Amino acid sequence: MRYLKLTIAYDGTDYVGWQVQDNGITVQQRLEEGWTRVTGEKTRITASGRTDSGVHAMAQVCSVATQSDLPPATLVRALNAETPYDIAVLSVEEAVPGFHAIRDAIEKTYCYHVQYGRIQDPLRLRTSWFVPGDVDLNQMRDAAGFLIGEHDFASFEATGAERKSTIRTVTRLDIESEVLHGLPGLKLAITANGFLYNMVRNIVGTLIRVGRNQNEVQWVQWVRNQKDRSVAGQTAPAHALFLQQVVYKNDLVSD
């Protein structure tokens, strides 16, 4: 048996998420169909995270066990020929035996794009959340400081999706100005050792309230300490969220 690490990018607009399901077409379904046409195998391709409907990925990492002896470069070319235009296989690498995209991940980064102001940018409709009016980035940055480190993020987990533990460690939470086509926006990038369901989108919705002066900076600390989803901000829309990077130990990929 041979283990491979695939890195893929996709526009999630037309998919009901990563994971195969009955209510629509998914990224996993299309990638596995392409794999079958290329290798003749029907196999499960596992992604590092099951992105939701409408969520995009810049560098989703997948693992697959295969009997195919096709070289990585050949697999890249063939898979890209057999998958839709909105899914791209960026690389295929040999991995150590037993490599698993979920279990072996040590860190992930998601980014979220917000466009704000009086005019909505029609060229960012699929990739940014439009927030009318002004947003104070400095206020948001100050509030974000309360979310860095090891904390219980239960206030930012979607209701009904409880995990065994809601404690996670956020190592970075950066908010940068992002001006495109002359219209203002921001990019929020968050890195952690793991994420709860809708955690990033709920954090964004909470910080935006601070940026719009609807709540004080210290309110975010209070929200975090309540461990209650109902006290936090809204869930930001899915279409502006991107899985940006997944980090693994260096020794998981074979030379």
CATH placement of domain 2-103? 3.30.70.580
| Burial of residue 122, with CB atoms counted within 10 A of its CB: 0-12 exposed, 13-18 middle, 19 or more buried | exposed
Give Cα separations from 157 to 30, 148, 205, 231, 232 (angstroms).
29, 16, 12, 11, 10
Cβ proximity of 186 and 137 under 8 Å:
yes
The list of the chain residues with pLDDT below 70 reads 160-162, 251, 254-255
pLDDT value of position 255 = 59
pLDDT value of position 22 = 87
The CATH number for 106-244, chosen from 2.30.30.100, 3.30.70.660, 1.10.3210.10, 1.10.3720.10, is 3.30.70.660
For the beta carbon of residue 165, count every other beta carbon within 10 angstroms: 11
Is 255 among the residues known to form the active site? Answer: no
Asked if 2-103 and 106-244 have one fold, the answer is: yes
Domain ranges, ordered by start, for the chain: 2-103, 106-244
Q: Which of 11, 14, 52, 152 is catalytic?
A: 52
Beta bridge partners of 109: 191, 245
Predicted TM-score (pTM) of the model is 0.95
What single letter denotes the amino acid at residue 204?
V
What single letter denotes the amino acid at residue 213?
N
pLDDT value of position 65 = 97
pLDDT value of position 251 = 67
The rounded distance, in Å, linking the Cα atoms of 151 and 10 is 31
